[in-house]
Amino acid sequence: AIELGVADAIDANGDPMTLAELSSKLGCQPSPLHRLMRFLVQRRVFGEKRDEAGQVGYVLTPISSRLLKSDDTKVAPILFQNDPDMLLPMHVLSAHLRGDKRLPFEIVHGTEEWTYMDAHPLQRELLNNAMAANARPVVPAVVDGCPGLFEGVGTVVDVGGGNGTAMRTLVEACPWVKAINFDLPQVVAGAPECNGVVHVGGDMFAAIPKADVVFIKWVLHDWSDESCIKILKKCKEAIPEEKGKVIIVDTVITEEVEEEGLRDVRLMLDIMMLAHTPGRERTEAEWKNIFTKAGFRTYTIKPIRALQSVIEVFP
């Protein structure tokens, strides 16, 4: 439905859209389109309503209102995770659980995910768009949910910042901050220019640019504990020992079963990590373990209005 632009067509139409109108607009055959829409109406993704002439037409619901291509904060992650190449590792998860030492992603693609992305521009673009889409609502949630987090901070380096969306969003909210968007050279090469943001290419396992604060969002969950410890040690080297800190924006899984809330989605993401990367979504105890081994003194965790929490780690 997203690929066809069903929600966009109905939104642009304004009034309830009949099957014939929708079929004509999308260039789809009426019969299979009817079967698709019948299913999606049943699932309350779309609704049905009679127009002024008494004909039944399709309308948006709160769910499909979030599937408009114009709002890529919702759509881009869906398109990435449902790309056929990204779904394939799920089909060999059992082999990994039975003892195949290779990650499911490696079993189906012959290499680990980041090497694969370098050779597949389409999937790399889908990933970058998904990460940028996540950054647009999450960075304001970080700023709003943690007042004073960036007060007195001169420079921030975003480790694994992709095309720089997170730092552009941060500078808009905190214009006194000078931001460095740090990622692999081939990633930052295509990043758009932005006032207050400098793009720097490099390897986070080798060295991270110096700054008052290291910001690292949804990166560590991709890596094993051993790799996270190496990355965090490099983060520690990049900040002042007395006033510096590392701000991690990542998932924290609670131990309690929740009837409602976001734990279900966080656990779903952990299964995706199991299929794609050597990483995992971590509990507080698991986070504490890697912080201690990386040589950090203390940390705090603050939930925000997002899947992720804000973790401040101090040397």
Residue pair 90/104 in contact (Cβ under 8 Å)? The answer is: yes
Q: Phi and psi dihedrals of 123, rounded to 5?
A: -70, -35
Residue 120 among the catalytic residues? no
Residue pair 167/142 in contact (Cβ under 8 Å)? The answer is: no
Q: How many residues does the chain have?
A: 315
**DSSP per-residue letters across 147-213:** TTTTTT--EEEEET-TTSHHHHHHHHH-TT-EEEEEE-HHHHTTPPPBTTEEEEE--TTT-----SE
Query: To 10 degrees, what angle do helices 284-293 and 225-238 make?
Result: 60
Residue pair 29/22 in contact (Cβ under 8 Å)? The answer is: no
- Candidates 109, 199, 221, 276; catalytic one: 221
Separation between Cα atoms, residue 68 and residue 60, nearest integer Å: 10
Position 39: which residue type?
A: F
Position 209: which residue type?
A: P
Reduced to 3 states (helix: H, G, I; strand: E, B; else coil), residue 56 is strand
User: Catalytic site residues?
Assistant: 221
